[in-house]
Structure 1
Amino acid sequence: MKKNYLLIMALMMMFVLVLAGCGTSNDEGSVNDDASGNEAKANEDSGTLVMGTSADYPPFESRNPQGDIVGFDIELANYIADELGMELEIRDMNFDGLIGALQAERIDMVISGMSADEDRRKNVDFSIEYHSSGEMFVSLKDAAFTSLDDLNGKTIGVQLGSIQQEGAANLQADYDFEVKTLDDAQGLIQELLSNRLDAVYLDKEVALGFIAAQDLAGFDDPSGTTPGMAVAFPKGSELVEQVDAIIEQAIESGKLAEWEAEWLSE
């Protein structure tokens, strides 16, 4: 998979450009899948584990040229479902709608590069952390930034509802930049390529993928560390303890390291 990553990223960006030209706002598997109000909550009797994700965040979750949702998080999700003896159903929706879907119990869990920060812990339960990347600022090569001071007077893009949105708000206390939010990471990169954003603030692994695929520039955020990624559940979910044990098993067996080698940057 990893050796085809740049090709996949390039094809995905071409797909985004086509959608933008056609005025398409959501793909078939967006948050609007839940608009009918049909109950999507799974249980042990159904044998189906319903997972919410936002498939616009490679290499954690994205659609390949065939339209399948793939990535590091998807490997973990399939492993969890297999260990639970359940079928995995993936629901693709906007990132900022994932917590609400958990609270309404329309899905059983979220695996979507979601950081287990304290604000989210007020509304959902989290598994143990399974990955930590850090953050990067991404810009065009001919207008590359190398420090936070370079961001003064600029417009920075972040994904709506992401840990980076919160981080950017904190940085605004010390740096004078404007923040623009969009629903998905690929849309942010398109805005950057179209010169409607000066920089994009992303998870480091995601940023490195876009930098390689689009020949962009970037620098690490030195301002501090963010919580690692974890699986999110509705408050009081009985799955938390089981999934914790499965993640620990994946770490001890080397499975998690295999997925990191396959999907994540060296």
Structure 2
Amino acid sequence: MKTKFKALTILSMTAVLALTAVGCGSASDNSASGDASKTSGKKLVLMTSADYPPYESHKTDGGTDEIVGFDIDIAKAITKDLGYDLEVKDVDFNGLLPALQAKQADFVMAGMTPKPERLQNADFSDIYYEAKETIVSKKGSNLKTPADIKGKKVGVQLGSIQEGEAKKMEGLQIVSLNKIGDIIQELKAGRIDAAIIEDTVAKGYTAANTDLEFNTIEQTEAAGSAIAFPKGSAITADFNKELKKLKDSGELDTLIKKWFDTNK
């Protein structure tokens, strides 16, 4: 989600213009209609923050390092059907929208909610998944509601929806960090008292750290995930069509079960 010798001047200018036209991916080569028939063999760059399982995380196996997850599977399905090759890049969450604005990426997927302040700087797809916020704490700490964490040190991911929600709560000592894994380590070390983390992500971290627990915060508004694009992107409409296909075919439900294990 990129002159000392007169003889070289024309060649240099040509190269710069060519690079400018190409941009970060291939969407800029297509017409404003985003016609998928013109995309075969082209590449799109997806930027994400790969510390947010099951949406995206690093999988290391035999010396290889691959970014995998719910968002990545959706991106692969959509770009494959539209005829694009896909390149995935890992960036700190708070750097995703700035990178998108700088046209270093064609789109961003990171369990991101299209809040009004984000809509000022990016276009978003339709919502593809809705989740809830939770309070993660050490077992037995009895920190279950926003009232319980008043006056406590609470960890959130920098630039996230959870950081924004924490700032609305009264009396919190907010500790903003780049990575969810760092927040969990701070919690386990006792340097923070609790963390506000999305439920599907909290499930994974508490399963891997049995000394921790999570409690769901009562929601006052929907908090769904959508795909972010540069303002005026030619591919937004095509992505929405593909998202609808994934929903209508049941493939999206299959991916939800795969990554969130909703039957447990």
What secondary structure is seen at the aligned counterpart in 1 of 2:113? coil
What TM-score does the superposition give when structure 1 sets the normalisation length?
Answer: 0.82
Query: In the aligned structure 2, how far is the partner of 1:248 from the partner of 1:186?
Result: 33
Matching residue of 2:146: 148
Query: In the aligned structure 1, how far is the partner of 2:70 from the partner of 2:49?
Result: 13
Matching residue of 2:8: none
Following TM superposition, by how much is the alpha carbon of 1:265 offset from its aligned partner in structure 2, in angstroms?
3.8
Query: In the aligned structure 1, how far is the partner of 2:206 from the partner of 2:98?
Result: 32
Q: 2:236 aligns with which of 234, 237, 240?
A: 240
Query: In the aligned structure 1, how far is the partner of 2:219 from the partner of 2:169?
Result: 8
Matching residue of 1:258: 254
Matching residue of 2:224: 228
What secondary structure is seen at the aligned counterpart in 1 of 2:226? strand
Following TM superposition, by how much is the alpha carbon of 1:81 offset from its aligned partner in structure 2, in angstroms?
1.0
Runs of 4+ in 1 over 4 A off after TM superposition: none
Count of equivalent residues: 228
Q: Unmatched 5+ residue regions in structure 1?
A: 1-33
Following TM superposition, by how much is the alpha carbon of 1:227 offset from its aligned partner in structure 2, in angstroms?
3.0
Matching residue of 1:13: none
CA gap of 1:244–1:186, structure 2 versus 1, over 3 A, is: same
Following TM superposition, by how much is the alpha carbon of 1:152 offset from its aligned partner in structure 2, in angstroms?
1.7
Query: In the aligned structure 1, how far is the partner of 2:52 from the partner of 2:222?
Result: 17
How big is each residue's C-alpha offset from its partner over 1:49-77, in whole Å with a ceiling of 9 and x where there is no partner? 10000000000000013321111001001
Q: 1:63 aligns with which of 58, 67, 77?
A: 58
Matching residue of 2:198: 203
Following TM superposition, by how much is the alpha carbon of 1:207 offset from its aligned partner in structure 2, in angstroms?
0.8
State, as a whole percentage, how many aligned pairs show the same letter. 37
Contact 1:134 1:225 in 2 (8 A): no
What secondary structure is seen at the aligned counterpart in 2 of 1:142? coil
Query: In the aligned structure 1, how far is the partner of 2:162 from the partner of 2:222?
Result: 9
How big is each residue's C-alpha offset from its partner over 1:169-209, in whole Å with a ceiling of 9 and x where there is no partner? 1113xxx2200000011111111111111111011100111
What TM-score does the superposition give when structure 2 sets the normalisation length?
Answer: 0.83
Query: In the aligned structure 2, how far is the partner of 1:211 from the partner of 1:123?
Result: 34
Matching residue of 1:23: none
Return the letter of the residue paired with 1:142.
Answer: G
What root-mean-square deviation, in Å, do the aligned CA atoms of Structure 1 and Structure 2 show?
1.7
Q: 1:180 aligns with which of 169, 175, 180?
A: 175
1:54 aligns with 2:49: yes
Bigger radius of gyration among the two = 2
Contact 1:144 1:218 in 2 (8 A): no
What secondary structure is seen at the aligned counterpart in 2 of 1:136? strand
Q: Unmatched 5+ residue regions in structure 2?
A: 3-18, 30-40
Matching residue of 1:27: none
1:123 aligns with 2:118: no
Following TM superposition, by how much is the alpha carbon of 1:252 offset from its aligned partner in structure 2, in angstroms?
0.5
Following TM superposition, by how much is the alpha carbon of 1:148 offset from its aligned partner in structure 2, in angstroms?
1.8
Matching residue of 2:109: 111
Contact 2:133 2:219 in 1 (8 A): no
Matching residue of 1:30: none
